[in-house]
Amino acid sequence: MMTSRFLNIIAAAGLALSIATAARAAEKIDFILNWVPGGDHSPYFYALEKGLYAEAGLDVSIQPGKGSGMSSQRVGLGKNQLGIADLATALVAKSKGANLVAVMNVYANSPYAIYWLKSSGIAGPKDFAGNKLGNPPWDAARVMWPALAKAIGIPATSVSFVNVAPQAKLSALKSGAIQLTTDFYNGHDLKIRELGDDMGFMAWKEVGINPYGNSIIANGDYLKSNRKAVAAFTAVTQKAFAACVADERPCLDALMRASSGLKLDVQVDQWKRVEELMTDKFTTSVALGYFDPGRVADDYKMVETYFKMEKPFDVGGAFTNEFLDRGIKMPK
């Protein structure tokens, strides 16, 4: 007869085998962020920690990124199956041969903003002319500057650009080395703390420059052969974003546990701004994450005008809303 100890060994081996089999059965997805983890990424870490991706049959790993250009390239080449990228940047990459499709929008509003010090004598956009604008030379906001200049009614050549690293923008502004700088709106509260009542600010969307921002993109070939996996990832992520809108604290706690060096109060502030960026008439009436085809077409025209598009393409094939649950919406 088999001893109890031997039976336990067999049972343990069977359990290990079943776990290994389940792990092999799960679809591996390497998901690349557009930047280092921050408040806007908390829903992914929440879904991962809660096992929501695993329950959907996905083995998801989250990788930090170094900008939308990098994530678009990696997803377009198939080095990552899915990732996050600014939609305009993704469209530029697609024109250069990157095989990618946007499957869910995160920033329904453009995150681009411009900041200045009131003490510099700038009262508003009409005073931008004749000043120095500091941002990185690769910054998409610099490329799109002619569109903003036209919208506010000043010549595009009326400002001079100064190369400033992302982390040096505020210090350059406060020192007077520059009078203007561009940045993402989800860091708005840091500017308030640093600049106080002297802060001048304008969101680009206020003057009609409002392209879609960060979006989830999938490699085109992977999407074609793994539609169920992309559908599952999108469905889980959409639900995770909705859960974080309802109560951000569990999501931010998951982010903090997964990422070192973050301050909770800063991430809380960022998330509140992210909720603003996620909200428009389509996300509140159609679905959270929805792409309006008309807006995407307008974004393509803008990109075609101000960026270097190598080969034109049918923008209708660059995005899809098919994986979104129309019952999940942003609150009005």
Sign (positive or negative) of CA dihedral 211, 286, 81, 262: positive
Which residue carries 């989800």 as its tokens?
186
User: What is the distance between the alpha carbons of residues 278 and 105, in angstroms, rounded to a whole number?
Assistant: 8
Instruction: Output the DSSP codes for 81-97.
Output: SEEEEEHHHHHHHHHTT
The pLDDT, as a whole number, for residue 22 is 46
Q: Could you tell me which CATH number the domain at 112-207 has?
A: 3.40.190.10
pLDDT of residue 37: 96
Protein fold of 5-109+212-317 = D-Maltodextrin-Binding Protein; domain 2 (3.40.190)
Task: Give pLDDT, residue 24.
Answer: 57
49, HSE (Cβ side, Cα atoms, 13 Å):
17
Confidence (pLDDT) at 167: 87
pLDDT given for residue 6 in this prediction: 39
Q: Is 216 helix (H, G, I), strand (E, B) or coil?
A: strand
Q: What is the pTM of this model?
A: 0.88
5-109+212-317 shares its CATH topology with 112-207: yes
Q: What is the reported pLDDT for 72?
A: 95
**Mean pLDDT for back-to-back runs of 10 residues, the chain (332 residues):** 46 47 76 95 98 98 93 97 95 96 97 96 97 89 90 96 93 97 93 96 95 97 98 98 98 97 95 97 98 97 90 97 98 93
At residue 67, the pLDDT reads: 86
For residues 238 and 282, what is the distance between their CA atoms, to the nearest angstrom? Answer: 15
pLDDT for 14: 52
Domain positions in the chain are: 5-109+212-317, 112-207
Of 56, 54, 52, 35, the closest CA to residue 43 belongs to 52
Neighbours of 220 (CB within 10 A): 18
Distance of CA 213 to the CA centre of its chain: 7
The pLDDT score that the predictor gives to residue 327 is 98
Place of tokens 């500057």: 145
pLDDT value of position 215: 98
